[in-house]
Amino acid sequence: MSKNKLIYLFSEGNKSMKTLLGGKGANLAEMMSIGLPVPPGFTVTTEACNEYYSKGGTITQDLKSEIFKALSKIEEDTDKKFGDKLNPLLVSVRSGAVISMPGMMDTVLNLGLNDETVKGLSKKTDNERFALDSYRRFIQMFGDVVLKIEHHLFEKQLDQIKKRYNVTEDTELTIEALKELIDSYKQITKAETGREFPQEPKEQLLLAIQSVFDSWNNQRAKVYRDIHDIAHDLGTAVNIQAMVFGNMGEDSGTGVAFTRNPSNGEKEVYGEFLLNAQGEDVVAGIRTPKSIDQLEKDFPKAYKQFMEVSALLEKHYQDMQDIEFTVENKKLYLLQTRNGKRTAEAAVKIAVDMYNEKLITKKSALTRVEPNQIAHLLHPQIDLEQELKVLTKGLPASPGAATGELVFDSNEAEELSSQGKKVILVRPETTPDDIHGIVAAEGILTTRGGMTSHAAVVARGMGKPCVTGCDEARVDLDNQELKVNDKIIQKGEIVSIDGSTGNLIMGSVKLTDPGLNEECQKLLKWADEIESVGVRANADTPEDAKKAREFGATGIGLCRTEHMFMGTERLPKIQEMIISDSEIEREEALEKLLPYQEQDFYEILKAMDGYPTTIRLLDPPLHEFLPNVHSVKKDLDKLINQYGENSHQVEQQRQLLNKVRSLEESNPMLGFRGCRLGILYPEIYIMQAKAIARAAKTLVDEGYTPKPEIMIPLVGHDKELVILKEMIEDVIEKHTRSEHEQKLYHIGTMLELPRACVTADEIAEHAEFFSFGTNDLTQTALGYSRDDAEGKFLAHYMQNEIIPENPFMTIDQKGVGELITTAVDKASRTKPGIKLGVCGEHGGDSQSIEFFYKVGLNYVSCSPFRVPVARLSAAQAAL
């Protein structure tokens, strides 16, 4: 015996009961409670679903009797009877997960029809065509969802009969054609399942409920949950609802609408509507639907009512809604509402607009945008200053530009993409079974379907460019080609799509960086108003520094100096330094590098005028600047051949070989690098400090305010810092002219070794700031070398849930996080208020940022392009 209430009538629920009733059920109940026209029904709870799983997939007697009890309530409300020959009640059986997974799970419509009730329905409505149309739809849907018959078998039959009767649209099928279709559907059922199509409505109902429960675990739903990080053990609710019919004829229809444009966020009801159609027709892209404005012409009353409902629902939920509705004989019914999925662009615009309309607060506006969505806004777009070979135009379903090879099949898209190829997936329409192809493709184009079609919704959710309803184009699957008017494009040819305009373009296109639009800047300014961790950028070049400022970074958290030694002019000079045997020779070589470094620092500090710039002194092992042993040896052999054993050239190459060998390390990550280099080769750090000081001096003279923070890497013992700090201070003293100038400098260290973290109190005595180098700290704390781990065992570890996440992307709170917390505590004891930051990949990761905020760090630092994401994450962490 179960104690829980397993079923709730729509009249008993409300929107706060999502966990129990699923999103769809809770919102249907809510809409009913605020007086909107919702066909009556009831919800089987997610708890009942989980009980079903725990009973090995059986519906208990208890649940069965509850179901039929609730059903009788609907019979009362509708004045119809389930299974009745004269006045049959038909229902839909609809999945309804807690977090919406559009189209991923199963739904059956028109349930309760059989050879007898179909006659009753026909008489009662005086519309035989409609009754037969509903029956053929039911057999097909039930056959597909419940009996697991390949749906293309039905579709093939439908196509054949359409051809035979010489019609192109489903709506043109005559009574005769429909009868024939039903017969052939029944034959398919018999052939495929070995039994007649189930005629008993109660059996139909229980089987359908069972299928909906089971559909939680179908492949595509699992894939969807993996992509969107939804837990696999939530289960689904099931909604059983009286049918209303959009397929009753020309006075009926069905539609989907967003209260605002989900692609660009414009404040306008954005909807699509199909006359004489049912449920899935719009989303499945059977015909390209009409815009909602059409509704105004055809059904002015229902249109007006719908516009009112749309405004009401948006106000009620204080968010943009995605609404499903049906018009039956000119009367409007609501079938679903939920917070609409939207593109990043739309999310930002809607949040800012709704604040301006006084619908939501600033804080609430800040929660309306997923920080990671912001990254989509920075995706390159098509440069309009070029000549584009536009083939045709469809609907701009999801913005962004994409270029790739044309493919027509989702498996093939996946295959090619796994080989590193870029593909554009082109389909007549997509179904939930195409989810892996959509994931793999750069962009998606469909020839049918509208802005609310499956492809459009899924692509927007993923931030992928998508064009739908491209109806001048025809997909020829047999010949694997796309026909656009009289042009033929073959599989494998390169095309581009522009999801912002709907253009399909031949060949590849030039892209531009879009930058942040006005609304986004506004939202991020609100984010900056929230007291939280600051956001700096990792930038090694003047260009990156400028980008960082443009994206709102308030400083550089990590400027790596090793990149400044690369390039055809600089590399030979550092090599010369490394190969030198005496200090004097090394100093001479370094002297040649000085002007380069000075110029770089000058420009970076200038771009960061007034903002702190953390410059890390040389960190990587020296061998990274030299060719590898193998290639040095090969060159040596060549030189011997050319000049002979005893030549000067060969002698030099031998020296190089010896040096390269002597620098070889079996574990360079833990080898001769970081401050260890600075201690053994002080002249390197001295040169770098000199370059910084000279650059700063020039800037001061020019009226700028450089704020260099010199950071010493890989310190493990306080002594290391003591030695190097003294040395650098000496240099700075020599190059500054006043105490005021000296105050511009700060010297600190990175905490990236466990020993440094646990002795942070000692190290803090000599440091003016700490920056957690979480990449190396993760490597050293976990004992994983990142380069090896990612390719070898990390994926397996994550799949098998040995570790919850990739620790190089999201900070390992229990381990690495504990080291950080310890260090923060200890450092603050020695030096209260010491400046603490993070540089490393984790600085741009939302979840990690939340943690860094909680432990009290002052700033995070990430790549310039992640700065906007981090600014929003930082604000959300503090809300």
- Smaller CB distance to ligand ADP: residue 28 or 607? 28
**Which range binds Mg ion by CB under 5 A, 104-112, 242-250, 304-312, 865-873?**
104-112
Can you spell out the DSSP letters for 152-203? HHHHHHHHHHHHHTT-SSGGG--HHHHHHHHHHHHHHHHHHHSSPPP--HHH
Q: Beta strands 769-773 and 835-839: pairing type? A: parallel
Work out how close the CB of 324 gets to Mg ion at its nearest, in angstroms, rounded to a whole number. Answer: 5
**Which range binds ligand ADP by CB under 6 A, 91-99, 188-196, 346-354, 513-521?**
91-99
Residue 39 touches ligand ADP, criterion: CB under 6 A: yes
Work out how close the CB of 282 gets to Mg ion at its nearest, in angstroms, rounded to a whole number. Answer: 10
The site string for Mg ion over 392-431 (x = CB under 5 A, - otherwise) reads: ----------------------------------------
- What are 410's two structure tokens? 């989702």
- Smaller CB distance to Mg ion: residue 215 or 496? 215
Longest Cα–Cα distance in the chain:
109
- Smaller CB distance to Mg ion: residue 154 or 772? 154
Angle between helix 682-701 and helix 718-735 axes, rounded to 10 deg: 40
- The correct pick among 324, 720, 776, 845 for binding ligand ADP (CB under 6 A) is 324
- The correct pick among 45, 100, 107, 806 for binding Mg ion (CB under 5 A) is 107
- Using alpha carbons, list the distances in angstroms from residue 745 to 426, 616, 748, 788: 57, 13, 10, 38
Work out how close the CB of 4 gets to ligand ADP at its nearest, in angstroms, rounded to a whole number. Answer: 24
**Which range binds ligand ADP by CB under 6 A, 90-98, 599-607, 696-704, 755-763?**
90-98
- d(CA 43, CA 645) in angstroms, rounded, equals 89
**Which range binds ligand ADP by CB under 6 A, 99-107, 414-422, 611-619, 660-668?**
99-107
Q: How many CB atoms lie within 10 A of CB 624?
A: 13
- d(CA 720, CA 712) in angstroms, rounded, equals 9
Which residue lies nearest Mg ion, judged by its C-beta? 107
Non-local (6+) Cβ contacts of 598 within 8 A are: 690, 691, 694, 695
From the list ligand ADP, Mg ion, none, partner contacted by residue 244 (C-beta under 5 to 8 A by kind) = ligand ADP
From the list ligand ADP, Mg ion, none, partner contacted by residue 709 (C-beta under 5 to 8 A by kind) = none
Tell whether 176 is in a known binding site.
Answer: no
Tell whether 733 is in a known binding site.
Answer: no
Closest CA to 440 of 464, 467, 474: 464
Angle between helix 518-529 and helix 344-356 axes, rounded to 10 deg: 70
Residue 107 touches ligand ADP, criterion: CB under 6 A: yes
**Which range binds ligand ADP by CB under 6 A, 102-110, 502-510, 678-686, 807-815?**
102-110
Residue 103 touches ligand ADP, criterion: CB under 6 A: yes
Q: What beta strand segments (E) does 631-688 contain?
A: none
Active-site positions?
454, 839
- d(CA 505, CA 233) in angstroms, rounded, equals 43
- The correct pick among 336, 446, 778, 863 for binding Mg ion (CB under 5 A) is 336
From the list Mg ion, ligand ADP, none, partner contacted by residue 696 (C-beta under 5 to 8 A by kind) = none
Residue 94 touches ligand ADP, criterion: CB under 6 A: yes
CB 268 within 8 A of CB 260: yes
Tell whether 427 is in a known binding site.
Answer: no
- d(CA 713, CA 725) in angstroms, rounded, equals 12
- The correct pick among 29, 31, 48, 109 for binding ligand ADP (CB under 6 A) is 109
Residue 92 touches ligand ADP, criterion: CB under 6 A: yes
The site string for ligand ADP over 182-221 (x = CB under 6 A, - otherwise) reads: ----------------------------------------
Can you spell out the DSSP letters for 73-138? HHHHHHT-EET-SSSEE-EEEEEEESS--TTTS-EEEEET--TTHHHHHHHHHT-HHHHHHHHHHH
- d(CA 238, CA 6) in angstroms, rounded, equals 11
Residue 244 touches ligand ADP, criterion: CB under 6 A: yes
> What is the tally of helices (H) and strands (E) in the chain?
36, 33
- Smaller CB distance to ligand ADP: residue 27 or 503? 27
From the list Mg ion, ligand ADP, none, partner contacted by residue 109 (C-beta under 5 to 8 A by kind) = ligand ADP
- Smaller CB distance to Mg ion: residue 45 or 107? 107
- Using alpha carbons, list the distances in angstroms from residue 876 to 9, 538, 686, 728, 805: 37, 22, 42, 39, 21
Angle between helix 201-215 and helix 46-54 axes, rounded to 10 deg: 90
- d(CA 706, CA 742) in angstroms, rounded, equals 11
Identify the bridge partners of residue 535 per DSSP, sorted by sequence position: 860
The site string for ligand ADP over 224-243 (x = CB under 6 A, - otherwise) reads: -----------------xxx
- The correct pick among 127, 134, 326, 453 for binding ligand ADP (CB under 6 A) is 326
Work out how close the CB of 230 gets to ligand ADP at its nearest, in angstroms, rounded to a whole number. Answer: 15
Amino acid type, 282: V
- d(CA 145, CA 47) in angstroms, rounded, equals 22
Tell whether 345 is in a known binding site.
Answer: no
Q: Total residues contacting Mg ion (rule CB under 5 A)?
A: 2
Q: Total residues contacting ligand ADP (rule CB under 6 A)?
A: 18
Work out how close the CB of 133 gets to ligand ADP at its nearest, in angstroms, rounded to a whole number. Answer: 13
Residue 335 touches ligand ADP, criterion: CB under 6 A: yes
- Smaller CB distance to ligand ADP: residue 42 or 853? 42
CB 753 within 8 A of CB 715: yes
- What are 187's two structure tokens? 């034959």
Work out how close the CB of 375 gets to ligand ADP at its nearest, in angstroms, rounded to a whole number. Answer: 28
Closest CA to 838 of 758, 768, 790, 777: 777
- Smaller CB distance to Mg ion: residue 103 or 713? 103
Contact residues for ligand ADP (CB under 6 A)? 39, 92, 94-95, 102-103, 107, 109, 241-244, 279-280, 324, 326, 335-336
Q: Which residues bind Mg ion (CB under 5 A)?
A: 107, 336
Provide the annotated binding site: 560, 616, 752, 773-776
Q: Which segments are annotated as binding site for substrate?
A: 560, 616, 752, 773-776
